[in-house]
Amino acid sequence: MRTTILYVTAATVLLTGLVYLWLQPQPSRLQQVLDSNELRIATRIGPMTYQPRNYGISGLDYDLARRFAEFLGVEASFHPVHQDGVLTLLARDKVDMAAANLAISKARMRDFLFGPQYHTKAGVLVGPRNQSLPASLDRLGEFRILVPAGSLFIENLEDLQRNFPEFQWRERKKVGIEDLMSEVVSAEDKLALIDSNEFARIRFLYPGIKKAFELVKPQPVAWAFQKSPDLSLYLKAVEFFQDISLSGELQRLIVLYSGFDEDPEYLDSLRFTERLELRLPEYRDLFVKAAYQTGLDWRLLAAISYQESHWDKDARSHTGVRGLMMLTNQTAVQMNIEDRTDPEQSILGGAKYLRSLLERLPERITNPDRLWLALAAYNVGPGHLEDARVITQKQGGDPNQWFDVKPRLRLLADKEWYSQTRHGKARGHEPVNFVENVRRYYEVMKSLDKIEVETDRVERLLARDIVTSPVL
């Protein structure tokens, strides 16, 4: 009898415990993230989302999601997959959110909750430059359209096919934009339908590719969350985007990842890619050495040199600047350079000069604006840059942000404005072009793994264990 009572008592305690656990509310999604100290993020491998390179990881969604994790006070854990797997991970509760340049559609909104819109993207058709590409829907029947599996653009293609039965398209599984670009560059009857932002980001790498036309109009882009009554993490994302929008950080990141002001000229792009192979190897070790000595990125120095001299050690201009880094005689003297036509001295002199310009800027200016402003000063001089910053402030802009100062540099050629400045007239369009071109060349060289410097090569150069050149 006593044994039976004990069994009943134990069963009652167990049942009471189970009922208590069942009635006890589960921690919210946000609390689970905070308790685990980990924000799990599904993303897609691509130039706008999550792009692993030898020098590190880049991407608009990567940078934004990393900042969101910092906003929450937790670690960011990225789960990069191909496009067709991003929402699958979210649906199966393997991640807390998806940050993958996801366009919002009615079909997706039925299954997922989307955060604030932070960008837009369109679908552009691209194909070989040496082919006659369509400019409208009329000739699409002549081509096969390739698109990554899982792309939102598939919904648009399905709608289009209802009106154009002859229209053909094919999904490519587990491929990225670069794979599609490589496939269509030499094809006669293929086009790729790709994200307009990603095309703008890497088009300089593919001089043999050009845009046909925009097939899918711009659509809003946002992060995705699980659709449930628990809105705790979603509401934090809304708060996060409000903060970075008001601070201007969101716009700065979007501009940083949105390509450049002008389409790269075909011949310029072709010449650059050729000289990467033919000229750069001769001077690469010198760029690496100067980068180590000044704490800069060697690819940044190489980008400046290409803009200045096209890696021609005998280059000179009508204004008297000479050498690989096109130093003035005055700058060479300031940097203790005896022979500015000597490649090693020229590169080191240019690196030391850029470092000095970076250090002279006010501490409140942060990267990447600090770098772009220093590059402008490299071209036009620190005095003229300061004049443009003063004009920026007078006009209500932010003198610490490149994209506010840039249009004011052009005003230095306008008498109404340069007459009010300390250093007078300047050809303000030149530093603007200089910075934009250096940005483009720098991004290309960062994207090409084949020109990364191996550790053993650096060891031989500098007799050190490892080189740590911070990327500014």
For the residues of 57-100, what is the DSSP string, one character each?
Answer: EE-HHHHHHHHHHHHHTSEEEEEEE-GGGHHHHHHTTSSSEEEE
Q: Residue 455: its pLDDT value, please?
A: 37
| Mean pLDDT of all residues in 446-460 | 49
Which range is most confident: 22-26, 69-73, 121-125, 334-338? 69-73
Among 90-104, 153-167, 213-227, whose mean pLDDT is lowest? 153-167
What's the pLDDT score for residue 118? 92
How long is the chain? 472
Portion of the chain with pLDDT greater than 90, in percent: 40
Q: Is 361 left (phi over 0), alpha (psi -120 to 50) or beta?
A: beta
The confidence score (pLDDT) of residue 236 equals 96
pLDDT band at 3 (very low <50, low <70, confident <90, very high): very low
- Which own/partner pairs from 450-455 qualify as long-range (CB within 8 Å, at least 24 positions apart)? 451/276, 451/280, 451/284, 451/299, 452/53, 452/54, 452/55, 453/284, 453/288, 453/298
Q: How confident is the model at residue 448 (pLDDT cuts 50, 70, 90)?
A: low
Q: What is the CATH number of domain 120-221?
A: 3.40.190.10
267-462 in CATH: which number?
1.10.530.10
Q: What is the dihedral of CA 46, 64, 117, 29, to 10 degrees?
A: 110
Q: CA 105, CA 159: separation in Å to the nearest integer?
A: 13
Torsions phi, psi for 102 (to 5 deg)? -85, 120
Q: State the average pLDDT over residues 426-432.
A: 90
Pairing type for strands 190-195 and 144-148 reads parallel
- The CA-based dihedral angle spanning residues 58, 217, 87, 111, taken in that order and rounded to the nearest 10 degrees: 150
**Residue range(s) occupied by CATH 3.40.190.10 in the chain:** 29-115+222-256, 120-221
pLDDT value at residue 262: 54
If we measure between CA atoms, which residue out of 453, 456, 467, 443 comes closest to residue 204? 443
Q: Kindly state the average pLDDT of the residues 326-339.
A: 89
The mean pLDDT of 65-91, rounded to a whole number, is 91
The reported pLDDT for the residue numbered 199 is 84
pLDDT at 40 (0 to 100): 96
**Position with higher pLDDT, 29 vs 176:** 29
Q: How many other β-carbons are positioned within 10 Å of the β-carbon of residue 171?
A: 15
- Residue 428 has a pLDDT of 87
Residue limits of CATH 1.10.530.10 in the chain:
267-462
pLDDT in tens, 234-269: 999 999 999 999 888 888 888 777 765 555 555 577
Active site residues: 308
Query: What number is the average pLDDT over the span 338-360?
Result: 93
Chain segment 139-177, per-residue pLDDT in tens: 887 888 888 877 778 877 887 778 777 777 888 877 777
pLDDT computed for residue 444 by the predictor: 80
Per-residue confidence at 408, pLDDT binned at 50, 70, 90?
A: very high
* This prediction's pTM: 0.69
Which pLDDT does position 98 carry in this prediction? 96
Q: Are 284 and 453 in contact (CB under 8 A)?
A: yes
Of the candidate CATH numbers 3.30.43.10, 3.40.50.10860, 3.40.50.11540, 3.40.190.10, the domain formed by 29-115+222-256 belongs to 3.40.190.10
Cis-peptide, bond into residue 382, ω within 30° of zero: no
